[in-house]
Amino acid sequence: MPKKAYLGRVSDVDLRLLRVFRSVVACGGVSAAELELNIGRSTISRHLTDLEVRLGVKLCTRGPAGFALTSEGKRVLSASSRLLSALNTFQSEVDDVHQRLAGHLSIALFDKSITNPEARLPQAIMLFDETAPMVTIEIYAEPVNVIENGVMTGRFEVGIIPIHGQSSSINCYPIYSEQMYLYCGEGHKLFDRADRKIPRRAIQQCKYAGIGFHSPNMMVSHQLNLKRSADAYDEEALAALILSGRFIGFLPDHYAKSLVERGELRRLRPDVYHYQSDHAAIVRRSPKPSRLISEFVDCLRRAHS
């Protein structure tokens, strides 16, 4: 592989090769990308090789041993995400000139949102599709920190996350709330004890599992002096820790409901250990959101009104 990149002007062919590269990474390999791209493995491999030659770097290893990005591949992936996002923004602005709502809309949300009856994302999507049927929607479920960073860098046009602070780079539009309670799993030493017999010091002595990045969950656990012994990066992983019977932790009531009904979880001292988590739609302030993005945020706010 040559050391010096040969890439000069970015052509339509280069953009097509970058999109193939991104799809392969998203799918986890050449074989898995066949259905996504609707082209054969040999063609995909040839496209990757063409891109490597065009850029002058080795992007990934691929073969019987599996698929993995090189350090250069990771940098090209990050740069290509910014480039393609900028192109989408440009296309949206051109469509604005022609008063059209067309192009792509990339949305990221924190996990377990759909089981919350207060979260009316499906209704917002319905409203948006009625207004902008030509728009292609992409939805991702990601941790809060990934969503925030993705919105600020342009990877995502809209994020939906729990509010935990205010950034000068982001506009925030509150849309719904969820109630969080402290739970333990079947087999935990507090599971069969009545709430009136559980002093706060007994809860503070338990091993606590919490979300491992800055969030309302992290702030509340510090305020309540809970002893963090395990970190999780989404609520599914957090539930697994609590269900082990070894940890306590906060979960949304709508998500825990079925597990409580099956006798696998129970609330602990709901009179003390609860908080409200407010969720908001976020978009970056600069560049100014396109009409397409503003329309989707408006649909979100209408759906939740």
Q: pLDDT value at position 88? A: 74
- The DSSP line for 211-238 is ESSSSHHHHHHHHTT--EEEEESSHHHH
Domain ranges of the chain: 12-76, 80-176+279-303, 178-277
CATH topology of domain 80-176+279-303: D-Maltodextrin-Binding Protein; domain 2 (3.40.190)
Spatial neighbors of 8 by CB under 8 A, at least 6 apart, are none
Task: Tell how many helices (H) and how many strands (E) occur in the chain.
Answer: 11, 11
Which amino acid belongs to residue 15? L
* DSSP conformational letter for 295: H
Q: The tokens 């949305």 sit on which residue? A: 107
CA-based radius of gyration for the chain: 23
In this predicted structure, which of 28-37, 83-92, 152-161, 191-200 has the lowest mean pLDDT? 83-92
Alpha-carbon distance of 268 to 193, in angstroms, equals 9
pLDDT digits (tens, 9 = 90+) for 257-287: 999 999 999 999 999 999 999 999 999 998 8
Please state which architecture CATH assigns to domain 178-277.
Answer: 3-Layer(aba) Sandwich (3.40)
In which band, very low, low, confident or very high, does the pLDDT at 256 lie, cut at 50, 70 and 90?
very high
Q: Cα–Cα–Cα angle for 205, 211, 217, nearest 5°? A: 75
- Phi, psi of 192, rounded to the nearest 5 degrees: -100, 5
Q: pLDDT value at position 202? A: 95
Instruction: Let me know if the fold of 12-76 is the same as that of 80-176+279-303.
Output: no
Cβ–Cβ under 8 Å, residues 104 and 158 = no
CATH of domain 12-76: 1.10.10.10
Cβ–Cβ under 8 Å, residues 104 and 160 = no
Is 188's pLDDT higher than 80?
yes
